[in-house]
Amino acid sequence: MRSFGWMVVIFVVILGLVDMVMAQDVPWRYDFEETSLSSAWQVESGSELSLSTKHYKSGRQSLKWTWQGSSGLVFEDPAQSRTKTLTGFRAWVYNEQALDTALIFRFGTISELAANNPRYQFQFGLNFTGWRAMWIDLPRDAENSSYRGSGSGQVNAFEIDGPNNGVVFLDLMEFVEKIHWARSADSQVPFVNEERDGGRDPYYRWSQNILLGSLPGVITDAEKQAFQAITDRYETWVFGQDIDPTKEPVGIRLNALASYIDGGYRNLANFELRREGNRVVGKPLFASRSPYKPFFQDVFQDVLMRLVLDYRINGKTEARDQVLDIFDYLHDQGWAANSGIGTLDHAFLRVAGYAHAVYLMRDDLRATGRLERELATLEWHSMFGELYEPSWEPGTNADFMRTVSMFRLLRILMMADTPEKVATMQRYIAWLNNALDIAPGWRDTIKPDFLGFHHQGVYANAYAPNGFHVASLLAYFLRETPFAVAEDRRTNLKNALLTARLMANTYDISTAVNGRFPLQTEVINEILPAYMYLAQAFEPLDTELSGAFMRLWKPESSFLKDGLFPQVSARIMYLDTPGLCLMVLWPFIGVMSGW
């Protein structure tokens, strides 16, 4: 026991020494929560620094910098004994008034900055309001080509030049050893991650695309009627009509919906929203790859769509006002057009709650002057500009198929009935038809044998089947209009669904073809509505698809009672609507049962 006691003492001492070493090397982080500002921050004449509680991204304070004329702010790291190289820079900037100018950031040693010889430098655009983030890999993103020197020694200082007059709030400013490889370019820092096309997905580059070519001379009555028909189908799919809760799938779905909505109000309290004048503040929000929480997606998934459904289905006017506050809160926090929030890596995979909320709230957003702001935001986060690329490789990312393919359609439906709407819809249909083409090589999504591909391999239980589900719903919405999915592409999709059905033991898929989720075997029960949607996208009704659906329709099965009927969430996708059970599913089954 004595030896064990000494071992504990030695272990504690070693931990203490490790802590001392790490304390010298930890990245520096300033969130300005102190009672007085550190002397590490200095400003030139014409500038003023103060701690402010008006805006914040961490804690309850930020650094307010006011300058008159061209002036500068300088920071020198007080921990001069660091031994690790810190080359990643993260920071948040709040702007109350958009300015057609930019801050200039320079990094190096104090002597290098004094000699106007920074190792790294970049500009940060100020043409925005609210919060914006920067995630900068200094050697990769901001190397100063005119730097003169060996570059030896640690970068331990930076300066910011503010042109003309201005006020910004700075918060959560950090030097780190490594910065996320998927950091995103946006309008403030368009140069970021150029070697990776601005990040994992080219949000910024695609946002620069425009609709090319001449517009149709007019929008025809048939085209107007088609847009209205698509809108009506979507509304019916979401809400249904003539609710009969005595039918078990309907009752299960409605009970789940009530619980889902109730949870939204409990979750709302966690974000501490309050209105201050014309803006709504609350807990700071971050990208999902950020080391900080909560994430923007938490609001979409846990609150926003739930309250929207309470307003639109139950008519709760209080929910309407709270939803509008949430939109303002998101925008103030940086969820906006052309905002990269540091990194948008995988962000589009959690946008469903936001995209459908914008569409379902479109009339209220328009009436309160918010719609154009949210439409621009939806365009950015659905990477809408991809539609305007000159061409595409056959197929599409399975993740795109199950997410942005729907969001882009909703964006188009919210356009005014003009020739531009028609031309944009034509580009969308061209993209969708291409996405449903047979994909060569390692590309997603439908292969020549009609297996679903993602991550350069077969995924029979995830990604691709979800994409088939969403694509079938889109084909259902667009059927019998001038914008219908091409018949050969519908046939590709049909064969993909029928192949998935053949591979399944009713609802389960073999672990051998499940990619990195081998134990996630249930899938056919989750995508069962796709067979019904796509069957109706053919004229006449496709008997193979409808027959497959009816063979799989076992409402007494726990796979449907537990795995389909009670699902109502809006996470990666929003597919399990009240209207699916109330208006779409039951009429189809009724027709098929008497067929």
pLDDT digit string, tens, across residues 387-428: 999 999 999 999 999 999 999 999 999 999 999 999 999 999
pLDDT at residue number 150: 85
pLDDT greater than 50 at residue 13: no
Q: What is the pLDDT of residue 325?
A: 98
Q: Read off φ and ψ for residue 260, nearest 5 degrees.
A: -60, -45
Helix (H, G, I), strand (E, B) or coil at 37: coil
Element (H, E) at 498: helix 487-503
The pLDDT of residue 11 is above 70: no
Question: Which pLDDT score is estimated for 584?
Answer: 73
Cα-Cα-Cα-Cα torsion 37, 40, 45, 46, nearest 10 degrees, comes to -50
Quote the CA–CA distance of 351 and 382 in Å, as a whole number.
8
57: pLDDT confidence band, cut at 50, 70 and 90?
A: very high
- Euclidean distance between CA atoms 419 and 425, whole angstroms: 10
Question: What value does the mean pLDDT take over residues 248-269?
Answer: 96
Answer for the pair 429, 477: CB distance below 8 angstroms, yes or no. no
pLDDT of residue 81: 64
Residue 594: pLDDT band (50, 70, 90) is low
How high is the pLDDT of residue 492?
Answer: 98
Predicted pLDDT at 86: 85
More confident site: 505 or 349: 349
Query: For position 345, what pLDDT does the model report?
Result: 97
Between 585 and 425, name the one with better pLDDT: 425
pLDDT value for 340: 98
Q: Is the pLDDT of residue 10 over 90?
A: no
Of the pLDDT bands very low, low, confident and very high (cuts 50, 70, 90), residue 245 is: confident
Name the CATH architecture for the domain at 210-250+392-400+410-595.
Answer: Alpha/alpha barrel (1.50)
Beta bridge partners of 457: 454
Is pLDDT above 70 for 211?
Answer: yes
pLDDT at 110 over 50: yes
Q: What is the pLDDT of residue 83?
A: 66
Tell me: pLDDT of 2 over 50. no
- CATH 2.60.120.430 domain locations along the chain: 27-179
Q: Which helix (H) or strand (E) holds 29?
A: strand 29-30
Mean pLDDT, residues 569-584: 89
Look at the chain and count its residues. 595
Q: Where are the alpha helices (DSSP H) in 52-193?
A: 110-114, 138-141
- Beta-bridge partners for 49: 65
Q: For residue 583, what pLDDT is reported?
A: 66
- Residue pair 413/227 in contact (Cβ under 8 Å)? The answer is yes
Over range 153-159, report the average pLDDT. Answer: 89
pLDDT attached to residue 152: 77
pLDDT band of 28, cuts 50, 70, 90:
confident
Q: How confident is the model at residue 8 (pLDDT cuts 50, 70, 90)?
A: very low
pLDDT at 20: 32
27-179: CATH class = mainly beta
Give the chain's mean pLDDT: 92
* Nearest C-alpha neighbor of 155 from the set 180, 132, 136, 133: 136
pLDDT tens figures, 445-476: 999 999 999 999 999 999 999 999 999 999 99
pLDDT band at 244 (very low <50, low <70, confident <90, very high): confident
Question: What stretch(es) of the chain map to CATH 1.50.10.100?
Answer: 210-250+392-400+410-595
